[in-house]
Amino acid sequence: PGSSASNNKKKSEKILKYASSASSGPQDLLKPLTLTFETPLKDFDSSKMKLSDTLYNPIVAAISLDSTKKIIVVKNDWTEDMHYRLVLDKDFAIDTLGEELKKADTISFKAKSEREYGSLKLNFKNLEKIEHPVLQFVQNNEVVISFKLASPTFNVKLFNPGEYDLRILDDENDNGVWDPGNYHLRKQPEKVIAIPKKISIRADWDNEVDIIL
């Protein structure tokens, strides 16, 4: 048994290795499906990746390779509670070591239900004092998602439940991110207003909060 296990290990090391985000549970309706590869890809052909329902009716998806060449991103408007299949042809991708799949592979997964999300409405008072407001949702000191605010009412039908810190960025150059400033150009960092109260978004719930700036 020991030698056959090591033989199996040697065989498995020669195959294209990747991890699918679908293996961690149902597909998030708000995010793409991702395939993350151990080794950067030398080549990939999106036409050899076929997304379909369980009856193999094709579904058009936007498929791209990120700049690290280690992550394939599959974007689609996922339908709640729907079961999907992503069929990978044997030669859909080759990594920089020349490895590819030994045979076609199928990833089966299900999309989340809309009940697993909360709707969110935020009513801002005094928003007009910020010229280019960008609303940032923060968890563990990292910006999870940002939205440009075009009006004092922010409304989203589906939002991932959890506790969030909120910040308002005054995005002077309108590029969607915080710019730290430049000492030599005598440019100040862009202003960020932290909102003291955390918000807690509950699943299957209409969450509404008034925020005074």
Asked whether the beta carbons of 159 and 197 are under 8 A apart, the reply is no
Three-point CA angle 9, 13, 14, nearest 5°: 125
- For residue 36, what are its two tokens? 């993350």
Give percent above pLDDT 70 in the chain: 85
Rounded to an integer, what distance in angstroms lies between the CA atom of residue 95 and that of residue 7? 22
CA distance 197 to 212: 11
Q: Residues 84-94: what's their mean pLDDT?
A: 96
The pLDDT of residue 197: 86
3-state SS, one letter per residue, for 92-118: CEEECCCCCCCCCEEEEEEECCHHHCE
Task: Return all residues near 191 (Cβ < 8 A) that are at least 6 apart.
Answer: 169, 170
Half-sphere exposure of residue 74: CA atoms within 13 angstroms, side-chain side: 28
Q: Quick one: tokens of 142?
A: 């990292």
> What is the mean predicted confidence (pLDDT) over 52-56?
93
Q: Is the pLDDT of residue 183 over 60?
A: no
> What is the per-residue pLDDT across 1-38, written as a single tens digit (0 to 9) for each?
444 444 444 444 568 999 999 998 999 999 999 999 99
pTM of the predicted structure, to 2 decimals: 0.76
Average pLDDT over residues 170-179: 69
- So what's the pLDDT on residue 174? 66
Q: 51-60, 103-112, 114-123, 176-185: lowest mean pLDDT where? A: 176-185
Q: How far apart are CA 104 and CA 189, in angstroms?
A: 51
Least confident of 6-15, 53-62, 169-178: 6-15
- C-beta of residue 114 within 8 angstroms of C-beta of residue 80: yes
